[in-house]
Amino acid sequence: MTSASAFLGYPRPDGRIGVRNHVLVVPTVICSAVVADRIAASIAPVGASLPHLAGCGQLGPDLNVTHETLAAYCQHPNVGAVIVVALGCEQVVAQQLSDTARRAGKPAAIVAIQSEGGTLRATARGIEVARQMAETLARVDRVWCRASSLILSVKCGGSDYTSGLASNPVVGRVADRLVDMGGAVVLGEIAEIMGAEHLLADRAASHEAATRLLRVVNRVEAEAIALGLDIRGTQPSPGNMRGGLTTIEEKSLGATHKAGERTRLEDVVGYSAPITSKGLTVMDTPGLDVESVTGMVGGGAQIVVFTTGLGTPTGNPIAPVVKITANARTAQGMADNIDVDVSGVMSETESLDAAADRLLTEVLAVCSGRPTAAERLGHREFAIHRRNPTI
């Protein structure tokens, strides 16, 4: 293995490779989120919590998505140990989440607020367990791992004209190279594929994959029409319009560059569902940045590359998010949030391939432990997609 095709990671008992080694503190319900946050903060930066608004009063499909997403994070390769923080009367079952972590070979514990006797006792108990887990994980060394073990999530947000012209094509070239190494790439944001779905369908490895993609896009469009919204030919984001994008089709033509120029579409999966195929997978996520990233990381992506023209700070609790911009003004004005500046592509002082070389080097360095801007700033946004009303 060479440094150009490998990174220093954490092999897991289930055969996957982590790029971080977090103690994950999972609240089963919003009522236990404060305790979970305090437990995770006691072992920062290795501690990570998943603050969310779900876990109780949900209808069947949404409850299933909530449970599946939390379970996916419990077994994620970037997680070394898990503490489930329950209230005690919610719908999400703490024992099932703990069992999921253990089946993946991770130490797991449950802290129940009602059983412990309230917030203070539950917090104290959780901190005691968390510190023991953190001490154990601190003794685990990174080892050289092949890039073929990586699942790369590609995302854009706060897009402008430079996104489709430069930063997204740079990411696409990195996606192609990672797939050439044997890795995988996941693309979400179905609404931002709309208008360019035929281009991805033409690259599908099978008729079944192409059909699933078109079916998902058609469903999202039908849901918008049912709400009285025809989003084709329009642009739902004022920021995108200010950045020079006029229609959803124009935005989609730029956004789909992140999926590579030649990598084949192998699979289409549901929200936070496991990503099992090498090559390109499309995940059924909304365009909303935090919900989309949450789902793709839940599917198994260990790292996210996130392009932005206007600038956005979004991170994730367990996966590093690398921010790329091709807008020189954003690179300077939001320097604290940007990891890689590829504005030289726009000024014609750097080629797309040269920029992709730099980005791939950065991705592998981050996988080996280099902190991203979002991690340094404490951006750990997390939100589970919901389709139905709360009951």
Contact 177, 360 (CB under 8 A): yes
Do 22-138 and 146-376 come out as alike in CATH topology?
Answer: yes
Fold classification of 22-138 is Rossmann fold (3.40.50)
Q: Does position 277 have pLDDT exceeding 80, yes or no?
A: yes
Strands 47-49 and 22-27, how do they pair?
parallel
pTM of the model: 0.94
Q: pLDDT tens digits for 87-115?
A: 988 788 899 999 999 999 999 999 999 99
Helix, strand, coil percent values for the chain (each to nearest 5): 45, 15, 40
Domain boundaries in the chain? Answer: 22-138, 146-376
From the options 1.10.760, 3.80.10, 3.40.50, 3.30.43, give the CATH code of 146-376: 3.40.50
Residue 211 pLDDT: 97
Instruction: Give the whole-angstrom CA distance, residue 92 versus residue 115.
Output: 16
For residue 166, count other CB atoms closer than 10 A to its CB.
27
DSSP assignment, residue 232?
Answer: T
Enumerate residues 6+ apart whose C-beta is below 8 A from 125. 111, 116
pLDDT tens-digit profile of 308-317? 999 999 999 9
Q: What is the mean pLDDT of residues 360-367?
A: 98
Cβ neighbours of residue 372 closer than 8 Å, sequence gap 6 or more: 315, 320, 321, 322, 323, 339, 366
* Rounded CA separation 319/366 (Å): 10
pLDDT by residue (tens digit) across 44-69?
A: 999 999 988 887 887 788 888 999 99
65 near 112, Cβ under 8 Å? no
